[in-house]
Structure 1
Amino acid sequence: MSRKKKDKSAQSTRQLMGIDSVKDYCIATRMGDLVFFIIKPTNISVLPDSSISARIYALLNVVKGQAEIEMLALNSKESFERNKTFYQERQTCEELPAIRRLLEQDSTHLDRIQVLMASSREFYIIIRLRKEKDTDVFPYLSRIEQSINDNGFTTRRAAEQDLKRMLGVYFEQNVTTEQYEDYDGDRWVIVGE
């Protein structure tokens, strides 16, 4: 095994992702702390053109008001394409009509689930903190959050579980876990025994 592979295999998942730690309000990296503001999406498909233009202008105001803003859009839905492909391949090989019908029903069910989840998008505004003093961080973040809200967006700062869920969706499309652990199997550890 090469030295690079050995070094990578010895790293934790967080190290491989470039994350030092997940704090209660940010993700700490060597390039600065990343603070995430969750933006509640607006269904613009039902808005008139003038309202869409106003929303774009409001977003422009948010972006130009803060030089260090980054944005992230996540598709927080699971993909069933492999499952559907498996059902279709299996259906062509199956000789029993009853099993073929069941495979077809399973494929149809996955289609329905995918349609229901089609609007599962998440949007984040990210602020990278570099050299801010600890005493200045929370007032600074509160001003940014207020600025975003004043421009007509519904937002809140992501907490630790929100950040873990966002990382789960981003890195592995895991949208089903309700509580993320710091360590694998952490929920099964009984303290004091």
Structure 2
Amino acid sequence: MSKKEKGSVSTQSLMNIETITDYSLVTPYGELVYFIIHPTNISVLSESSVSSRIYALMTVLKGIAEIEMLCLNSKENFDDNKSFLQRRLEEEPNPIIRSLLQKDSQNLDRMQVQMATAREFLIIIRLRNEKESDVFPYLSRIEKSLKDQGFTTRRAENADIKRILGVYFEQNVTTDKYEDFDGERWVVLGEQ
């Protein structure tokens, strides 16, 4: 592939994505539908409650053969910043600067602890050769099964899928809206 051809390859094709629909991600290996599961804080649950949550998840997993799971951080990771501060702290001879670096490091620790439960859990259904008329009833049954087992869930929409890709591939958790094309927000329609 020439340098010019490489420059014209889209990000979608580099990630092996054919298209992002209103409810799925279409790849050569199947159409992926994402269900976002809102996490339960199990640290405040009794042992029997945790066991019942595990059993509920097992029930869902047994009922759906083609299920995949994904867990993402939905908040920023400060590990690189903390490593940088640690290196600076080891190198810094000035005690006042060392004290400031230590306080910065402690602040990052506090922020990370506050966001420790900021995870996003996804159930992924890979559709392959399903008839279009069967897809939505099938997905509705899966969503109902998850809700019947006590999970707070919803099917991911187009914007959710773009955000999931942004977090997964770029660790970008700060962008509110992802564009279909770079610079799309600056295009004014009807202007010549």
CA contact (8 A) 1:8 1:16 kept: no
Deviation at 1:129, TM superposition (A): 0.9
Alignment of 1:66-105 (within 5 A): 66-105=64-103
Sort the Cα spacing of 1:4 and 1:127 in 2 relative to 1 into closer, same or farther, 3 A. Answer: farther
Greater mean deviation of Cα atoms: 33-42 or 180-189: 180-189
Q: Which residue among 165, 173, 180 is the counterpart of 2:178?
A: 180
CA contact (8 A) 2:37 2:152 kept: yes
- The answer for the alignment partner of 1:38 in structure 2 is 36
1:93-131 Cα distance to aligned partner (Å, 9 max, x none) = 445444333333322221121111111111111111111
What is the CA–CA distance in structure 2 between the aligned matches of 1:4 and 1:154, rounded to whole Å? 49
What percentage of aligned pairs have identical amino acids? 63
Deviation at 1:24, TM superposition (A): 0.8
CA contact (8 A) 2:41 2:117 kept: no
Aligned residue pair count = 191
Q: Is there any run of 5+ residues in structure 1 with no aligned partner, and where?
A: none
Q: Which residue among 150, 153, 174 is the counterpart of 2:151?
A: 153
Deviation at 1:7, TM superposition (A): 6.7
Q: Which residue among 38, 47, 50 is the counterpart of 1:49?
A: 47
What is the CA–CA distance in structure 2 between the aligned matches of 1:114 and 1:133, rounded to whole Å? 45
User: 1:19 aligns to what SS in structure 2?
Assistant: coil
What is the CA–CA distance in structure 1 between the aligned matches of 2:48 and 2:85, rounded to whole Å? 45
Deviation at 1:78, TM superposition (A): 2.0
CA contact (8 A) 2:38 2:152 kept: yes
Deviation at 1:4, TM superposition (A): 9.1
- Tell me how large the CA RMSD over aligned residues is: 2.0
Sort the Cα spacing of 1:4 and 1:46 in 2 relative to 1 into closer, same or farther, 3 A. Answer: farther
Q: State the TM-score, normalized to the length of structure 1.
A: 0.89
CA contact (8 A) 1:59 1:151 kept: yes
Deviation at 1:31, TM superposition (A): 1.1
What is the CA–CA distance in structure 1 between the aligned matches of 2:117 and 2:3, rounded to whole Å? 40
Q: State the TM-score, normalized to the length of structure 2.
A: 0.89
What is the CA–CA distance in structure 2 between the aligned matches of 1:117 and 1:8, rounded to whole Å? 39
Greater mean deviation of Cα atoms: 72-81 or 92-101: 92-101
What is the CA–CA distance in structure 1 between the aligned matches of 2:65 and 2:93, rounded to whole Å? 63
Q: Is there any run of 5+ residues in structure 2 with no aligned partner, and where?
A: none
1:8-50 Cα distance to aligned partner (Å, 9 max, x none) = 6653221222211111100000111100001111111121122
